[in-house]
Chain A
Amino acid sequence: MSAALRPLPKLGPAEILRIVASMTVACLAGAAMLGAVFMATDRYRAAAALRGERAAIRDMLALDSTATLVEVKQFLAPERRQVVYRAAPLGAEGAPGHEVTFTLDGRPAGERDVAGGTPLAAGLVPLGRMFVAKRAGVPAGFVVEGESRGFKKRIRMFVALRPDFSIADMRVIEHEEDPGLGAEVATPWFRGQFVDRSADEVAKLDVTKDPMPEDWRAALLAMAKRSPGGSARHAALLPRERAKPIYAVTGATISSRAVTDGVRATVDHFRRRWALLEPHLGGLR
């Protein structure tokens, strides 16, 4: 390091040219190599992301391999005051899809089949995604992406719903809460509290700071671990607990409330949207 502080001899123009040339070559070689690595790995990254999403959805809805998954992306067309839904089989590149458009007030404004890879109309703003699991053409469950403002940053979650809109499962997929405190909202015992509550119960769901009963916590953990009898213990305690609010994580009431609010809004919005969408998505198998 001390060499850098000593005054250096003046460089001739030839030297400078050589330095510039070698730096340029080094940068270009580096960029070329990175381009190659990018092209080699990007495919795997996309595939891994898709695989993770698909596995999470199947796991949350307890689906077998006979079910098919349809991904519905929602967009806003601000100038036209319209909402556009584009549905296509999840992860099938180039498969044909279906596009349904509604006005902001929920009146149908057109629908069309789109070939795979059809670009979106200009000016569409993505709003969110939902996944519909189908078995023999009938919806077997839904997974809806939702978000909420947490203690520090946004909390993103997947809410899995049964066809009657009761909650099948919930996962926090992205958060930046404090480890040990707010981050506990992603743990099985916290998210397990939402499972099996009906849509109407969720709409009125509140959060309490009361301590969670130990037997309920043990049952939630057993259910999450899929240990034998876990579901039975959960089912036995559910009648007592389903009328009660969500027990907040100790020391992280704001994070707990953020997740609960997020689940409530996600379920509410999805029910309204699905009521519009359902008649139009029959053709997708």
Chain B
Amino acid sequence: MASRLRPWMPCRPGRPGAATRAARTAPAALSLAVLLAAALAVLAAAGVQADTRLLSARVVTPDRLALRFSAPLERTDPANFRFTTAQAPDVPIAVTAVRRAAGDRVVLTLGQKLSGSEHYRLEIADPPLSRDVRPSTWALLITVLLSSALINNFVFTRYLGLCIFFGVSKKRDTSLGMGATFTMVMVFTGMVSWAIDSFVLRLLHLSFLQILVFIGTVAFVVQFLDTMLRKTHPGLHKRFGIYLMLITTNCIILAVPLLNAQGSAGPLESFALALGSGGGFALALFLMSCARERTELARVPAPFQGLPIAFALAGLFALAFMGFSGLDFFR
């Protein structure tokens, strides 16, 4: 969000007083022409004395920062730039070289390695400009989404929702319906509880009521979705309603608001975490149901029949999901 913030741009208004007076006295067509002229004059004035603006700043790993300006930058000596991490704004990172590139671009080489997922701040002395350098909103969203779906998969690395996971992963159809319903409920409860937590509980210092309030929220949202679905989409309700009633008190649903509260997540992160966790759970259910349909046909030793072999399968999936850990799109 903040990456979209443009540095404050000085913009001198033209002479609105004259323009409006002319518009009041002259006929409509003339007034329009005058207004147009005034607008053009403002634009021209701004163009003449427009400052150089910093259009974008992007980390190019391992140690470069690519900047794009609206006009050529005059001073390109390293002392003109100050680059710091958000964690240590008082300790600048050394700028070792500055290179001009085509199209009003400037590339800074820095004295230490940078990470595309960290937050930095760039300040320029002449002309006075500053900008937060951080991954874009989309990048953040996708990172949280994928990390909660794959790296920290609820089932295979956080071991949540196992009862329901082993309960409904016997058939592929059921698992798909369940996965979709779970994702929907998780997103809804995640957002509602986020709002309650940040606007009510935290402000009133009532965080000790978290569990009670979140459980209530889940029950309420499930009931609400059930009623809505029944009234608006009876067909869908017939298919998913049975799953809805099964979820009211389930640890996987409750874990989303608890994790968000623990990490003091913002609205966007909460949304991405809920969606990613739900998607990850659906993925786990689907994979597991495919594998379990096959073990039905396999010859399993008698003591292992039923749940034990399902647990062993889950163990194999967990082993495979370990491969996702360390996945980073910005490193």
What is A's interface to B at a CB cutoff of 8 Å? 4, 27, 30-31, 34-35, 37-38, 76, 83, 102, 104, 106, 127-128, 147, 149, 151-152, 178, 254, 265, 268-269, 272-273
Contacts and interface: CB of A to CB of B under 8 A. Distances in A.
| Interface residue SS majority, chain B | loop
Nearest to A83: B90
B91 A147 contact: no
B209 interface: yes
A151 B325 contact: yes
B87 A147 contact: yes
Interface in B178-225: 208-209, 212, 216
Contacts of B322: 178
A233 to B, nearest CB: 35
Nearest to A268: B91
B90 A106 contact: yes
A128 B87 contact: yes
Given A27-B212, A34-B209, A35-B208, A152 B87 contact: no
Given A76-B89, A178-B322, A152 B208 contact: no
Contacts of A269: 88, 91
15 contacts: A34-B209, A34-B212, A37-B208, A76-B89, A76-B90, A83-B90, A104-B89, A128-B87, A149-B115, A152-B152, A152-B325, A178-B322, A178-B325, A265-B88, A273-B90
Contact of B326 (A34, A127, A254): A254
Chain B: interface size category = 10 to 19
Nearest to B121: A78
Nearest to A30: B212
A31 B212 contact: yes
A128 B212 CA distance: 33
Contact of B208 (A38, A128, A149, A178): A38
Interface string B42-79: 00000000000000000000000000000000000000
Contacts of A151: 325-326
B213 to A, nearest CB: 9
Contacts of B209: 31, 34
A272 B326 contact: no
Contacts of B173: none
Nearest to A34: B208
Contacts of B314: none
Contact of B88 (A37, A38, A127): A127
Interface centre among A30, A147, A152 (most CB of B within 10 A): A152
A122 B88 CA distance: 20
A4 B242 CA distance: 12
In order of increasing CB-CB distance, the 7 nearest A-B pairs are A38-B208, A83-B90, A269-B91, A151-B326, A269-B88, A34-B208, A76-B89
A83 B92 CA distance: 13
A138 to B, nearest CB: 25
A248 to B, nearest CB: 14
Nearest to A178: B325
B202 to A, nearest CB: 15
A149 B325 contact: no
Contacts of A102: 90
B118 interface: yes
A178 B322 CA distance: 9
B295 interface: no
Contacts of A178: 322, 325
Given A128-B87, A149-B118, 4 more contacts: A35-B208, A76-B90, A152-B151, A265-B88
A153 B151 CA distance: 11
Contacts of B90: 76, 83, 102, 104, 106, 272-273
A83 B90 CA distance: 7
B207 to A, nearest CB: 9
A79 to B, nearest CB: 12
B136 interface: no
B117 interface: yes
B218 to A, nearest CB: 15
Interface centre among B88, B117, B118, B208 (most CB of A within 10 A): B88
Interface string B83-112: 000011111000000000000000000000
A125 to B, nearest CB: 9
A272 B93 CA distance: 13
A26 B151 CA distance: 40
